Structure 1
């Protein structure tokens, strides 16, 4: 009997030490961690990491600690290969990504065919959610939001601030030629035409271009008053530098996210060049925090974890989207794909209840119908929210 009792006690001790007491669930984190888009890819992934830390501190999802398996989507082919690896070899329950629209479009098709949920937290191109996929959800605002907001800013703020009627301004659109830039430019043209804007040129270019001087000269020769650029970091820096070197000073430059939202871009071109430049993008940090509950806590957590200030709002918006998804998965009936999809489909977070200011509810194409963007301006070395008025931390400035 003593031996049996000893065996029972030992078995109990072994049971308490088995992996079930420290159960883990693995999700994929598919971002461009290397290559041309690495800076914003890494910044986006940091938002996901902070959301995972928060969930794990509260018990994980369904009692299991979350483990992130990274996949490096350095280009479209690599995004496809890494998605396959995460699904077939790592056995992830879902994939989170991916900042780049082109990478997202490629990798999410792999996930859809495998029946694995794919949660896009940062890519804006129309095609991401226009394919009627069952397992793909996007939490962030889109190219449509960006194009519409930029036109609204021109009509309601920029034109009056310059003392002109909107239709009297000459608008020039330049954009990198992937799904991201092409989608945003298309919406700028459509909403601009509806608003009666005078768009005198639209010029695409490869994001990897090393010379934009001819484009600068073309804009200058046309007398373009307002330049709209949708770009990543390197091409944002290149255009701003070469426009400055050519002495081209349009009345307004409005960036479409990407490089225009990043502190490293401002540092690369200098305050004299970036001052007054406008931007439409995800929620950033100099904002009316009554509009963004939880933002200040996120920033403090970011500083503690990474030992630096957030480099753009991509980390914040990835955090908001990931946290909403992970909380829904925690409340799901299980971790099978259809159980996850059912739980995520039922998310209903009202406007004004996330650190990004917008809510979360999925509609047509599994797109977050409550997502929205804001207008910012570089003022005294800081990217400050200036639009819409209820979220603004400062008034829009115009050169005298």
Structure 2
């Protein structure tokens, strides 16, 4: 394991083998998307310790929710094999609820889990807007909430003591490795920003503007767009006229694929197109964008060839079991389940106050790197992120920065469309 300056003794051994994961999967459970029966109680004594998990299992973000649910169950099954899912004779019970990719459904799911199911702790949260309403509901009811993905900065900047974010960086901090690359290699003079008008897109664009200003990079184009748009050509044609050195774009997967395909159609050739995580790292991005994805770079929190122990084994096991490749969203969910079960074991009960304290004291290595919940730069209970710059090279998403983590050499500037 590559050292990053923090050496901790993990509360759970995170060594993972594909054989163990594949052998263990299938027994752990939770409800179906409608919040029905949760498995993992039969044959065990004691009232279960209930964990509520809210994910988009239907709706526009369902592909992410499915990946995160699958990954959580993989981690839970591994931990079950290790005897970590029963505490003092009480089985841990997972109850999944579907937020339907909607804010009102996310709030209703949180209220149902807290008031009807009487969960001890919440986790999940994909889209930032939905995550925010879950977090506010958890805080109001004094129930700990471990965020998996929702990344808008303000979620952990409201002093909420019951809200924890470990595997997700604040949106404005996704770009650490990218800025290092731009400072040392690209040195752009001008940049453009395009972003979906969501909490995540807005936070990411704000962070980019601030960092660009610090470096004297002129932003010559700055525009949001409606998520799910079908025609980006007018936006891209106007953007092309400004001829920026680089483009920073924040989009979910279908928008991301359409944007780069239509860039080729309008023959727009920036020196580098950089996605702000999210859709630009998904396997579905490459599937939908085809060859237009080549040389597109993105910020990322994880890829399977990072140095963290168990990362490649998780990736391989997931791909073998589900026939799809997970990206960092799945890794976030897998690692979050490890963090949560570790905290529950240290809490020794289903008492929300004890769980909150155990989460606060977390020091754990995961496939996402080290997790500790700290107060810094206005954030509360926020892990400090490790970030990467990745680039699509052929059919592979490779780490190109930082140098010590690189799996391939970067290509900069990207070749023009007519030279590919």
Query: TM-score scaled to structure 1, two decimals?
Result: 0.87
1:144-176 CA-partner distances (Å, limit 9, x unpaired): 22244433322223x1xxxxx433xx2100001
Question: Is the helix fraction higher in 1 or 2?
Answer: 1
2:357 pairs with one of 339, 342, 350: 342
1:245-273 CA-partner distances (Å, limit 9, x unpaired): 11222221100111101011101111x21
Counterpart contact for 2:48–2:93, Cα < 8 Å: yes
Distance in 2 between residues matched to 1:248 and 1:64, nearest whole Å: 59
SS at match of 2:390: strand
- Residue aligning to 2:407: 393
1:39-86 CA-partner distances (Å, limit 9, x unpaired): 122222322222222222222042433322111112001101111111
State the Cα distance separating 1:121 from its structure 2 match.
1.3
Distance in 2 between residues matched to 1:390 and 1:355, nearest whole Å: 18
Query: TM-score scaled to structure 2, two decimals?
Result: 0.83
- Residue aligning to 1:166: 188
SS at match of 2:338: helix
Distance in 1 between residues matched to 2:86 and 2:339, nearest whole Å: 12
1:100 pairs with one of 127, 148, 169: 127
Radius of gyration: which is bigger? 1
SS at match of 1:166: coil
1:284-306 CA-partner distances (Å, limit 9, x unpaired): 12x3x4x21111221233234x3
SS at match of 2:403: coil
Distance in 1 between residues matched to 2:275 and 2:171, nearest whole Å: 13
Distance in 1 between residues matched to 2:411 and 2:370, nearest whole Å: 25
- Residue aligning to 2:19: none
- Residue aligning to 1:123: 150
Question: Runs of 5+ in structure 1 lacking a partner?
Answer: 1-16, 160-164
**2:343 is equivalent to residue 328 of structure 1:** yes
1:68-112 CA-partner distances (Å, limit 9, x unpaired): 211111200110111111111222211111121110001111111
- Residue aligning to 1:70: 96
Question: Runs of 5+ in structure 2 lacking a partner?
Answer: 1-40, 416-420
Q: After TM superposition, list the pairs within 5 Å mapping 1:1-400 onto structure 2.
A: 21=45, 24-59=48-83, 60-62=85-87, 63-73=89-99, 74-139=101-166, 140-157=168-185, 159=186, 165-167=187-189, 170-270=190-290, 272-285=291-304, 287=305, 289=306, 291-304=307-320, 306-349=321-364, 353-364=365-376, 365-398=379-412, 399=414
Distance in 1 between residues matched to 2:144 and 2:105, nearest whole Å: 19
Distance in 2 between residues matched to 1:372 and 1:144, nearest whole Å: 13
Question: Number of paired residues?
Answer: 368
Counterpart contact for 1:148–1:188, Cα < 8 Å: no
Counterpart contact for 2:319–2:326, Cα < 8 Å: no
